[in-house]
């Protein structure tokens, strides 16, 4: 159900991952140095003013009256900004070259639209707030293990984003449409379905679903990342606490067109246990249950063969009865 990446392509795959990590680091550094500095006269004094555009608005902040201290701050910040621009420009060119290499060597098979969505989530500073769960998580596991899954295992036409609604985001909405606006930057045809406020769908029928835990009888938690009438809502899904309490897992993934993104998801062992649990539910659609079981067995085999540093005994977030299922192994 999966095949190892050929040895002759392994170096190119490693190079691609390292380059993209460096590119992301340069983007974050540029974001930290995005503000422009200038001296402005106010009355009889000059002040050092930091300015940047945020959501289409120019935000200004005074860093203090002109002095030896503010002049030193100005020189340091100007130098850092110039260095950040130079580094990002160089890595952006290298990234474009790597995209062509990825495409020529067929290093990637992740859906291009999913990769574009993940890129926009990263640029918006939301990658730590959202985790990809479900079938698309397999691309991160395959990337880490240097294998590729068969199409029958990874075929899907949607991506599920798990949001931890227990904590409020500490950042302002990066778009006036909220998360929906962020995703529309990847494809402007994404829109909320008339009869489904939990789903965005684009012109090709590709869907993005936002899900959250079911808090049960506990204090109600937010249903949107930010309150916004134009945004879509998070649907409650049973036992998401198991996944939210499991270790995070991330890897660079490569699309068929060569583009790259960082995919944040859940530990592959948590994926396996959750899929086994789903496949055993009597109310689960039988076709979906068969696919759940297939994916659980394939990923368990992958972990045991290629990621042996991840023992299945260590996931305390899952009930013992669910953890016991993995001990029987694939085919049980």
What is the pLDDT, as a whole number, of residue 167?
A: 82
pLDDT at residue 331 above 60? Answer: no
Mean pLDDT in residue range 143-161: 96
Q: Which of 55-59, 86-90, 144-148, 186-190 has the lowest mean pLDDT?
A: 55-59
- Split at pLDDT 50, 70, 90, the class of 170 is confident
Q: Which tokens go with 64?
A: 């203090």
**Residues 132 and 265: beta-carbon distance below 8 Å:** yes
Mean pLDDT in residue range 215-237: 92
- Split at pLDDT 50, 70, 90, the class of 56 is low
**Residues 130 and 163: beta-carbon distance below 8 Å:** yes
Transcribe 144-199 into DSSP letters: HHTEEE-HHHH--SEEEEEE-TTS--SS--SSTTTHHHHHHTT-TT-EEETTEEEE
What is the pLDDT, as a whole number, of residue 223?
A: 94
Domain ranges of the chain: 8-105
DSSP SS3 for 123: helix
Residue 81 and residue 23: Cα distance in Å, rounded?
Answer: 16
**Residues 168 and 279: beta-carbon distance below 8 Å:** no
Specify the pairing of strand 207-213 against strand 158-163. Answer: parallel
Q: Which tokens go with 135?
A: 């079938």
pLDDT, the chain, mean: 93
pLDDT at residue 332 above 70? Answer: no
Helices (H), the chain: 7-32, 68-105, 112-123, 138-145, 151-154, 179-184, 240-244, 268-280, 286-306, 320-328
């Amino acid at each position: 159900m999966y095949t190892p990446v050929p040895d002759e392509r392994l170096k190119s795959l490693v190079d691609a991952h390292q380059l993209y990590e460096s590119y992301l680091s340069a983007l974050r550094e540029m974001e930290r140095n995005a503000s422009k500095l200038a001296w402005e006269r106010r009355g009889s004094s000059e002040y050092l003013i930091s300015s940047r555009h945020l959501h289409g608005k120019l935000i200004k902040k005074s860093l203090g009256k002109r002095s030896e201290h503010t002049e030193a701050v100005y020189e340091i910040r100007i130098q850092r900004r110039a260095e950040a621009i130079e580094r990002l420009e160089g890595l952006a060119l290298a990234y474009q070259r790597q995209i062509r290499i990825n495409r020529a060597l067929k290093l990637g098979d992740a859906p291009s639209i999913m990769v574009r969505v993940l890129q926009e989530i990263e640029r918006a500073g939301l990658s730590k707030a959202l985790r990809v769960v479900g079938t698309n998580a397999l691309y991160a596991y395959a990337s880490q293990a240097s294998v590729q899954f068969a199409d029958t295992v990874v075929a899907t036409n949607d991506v599920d984003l798990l949001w931890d609604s227990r904590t409020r985001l500490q950042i302002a909405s990066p778009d006036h449409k909220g998360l929906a606006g962020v995703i529309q930057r990847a494809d402007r045809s994404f829109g909320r379905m008339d009869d489904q406020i939990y789903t965005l769908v684009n012109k090709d029928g590709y869907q993005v679903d936002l899900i959250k835990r079911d808090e049960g009888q506990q204090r109600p938690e937010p249903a949107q990342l930010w309150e916004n009438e134009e945004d879509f809502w998070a649907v409650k899904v049973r036992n998401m606490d198991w996944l939210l309490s499991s270790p995070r897992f991330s890897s660079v993934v490569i699309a068929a067109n060569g583009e790259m993104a960082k995919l944040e998801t859940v530990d592959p062992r948590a994926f396996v246990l959750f899929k086994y649990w789903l496949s055993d539910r009597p109310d689960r659609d039988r076709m979906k249950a068969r696919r759940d079981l297939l994916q659980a067995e394939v990923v368990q085999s992958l972990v045991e063969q290629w990621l042996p540093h991840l023992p299945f005994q260590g996931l305390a977030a899952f009930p013992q009865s669910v953890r016991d299922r993995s001990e029987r192994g694939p085919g049980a």
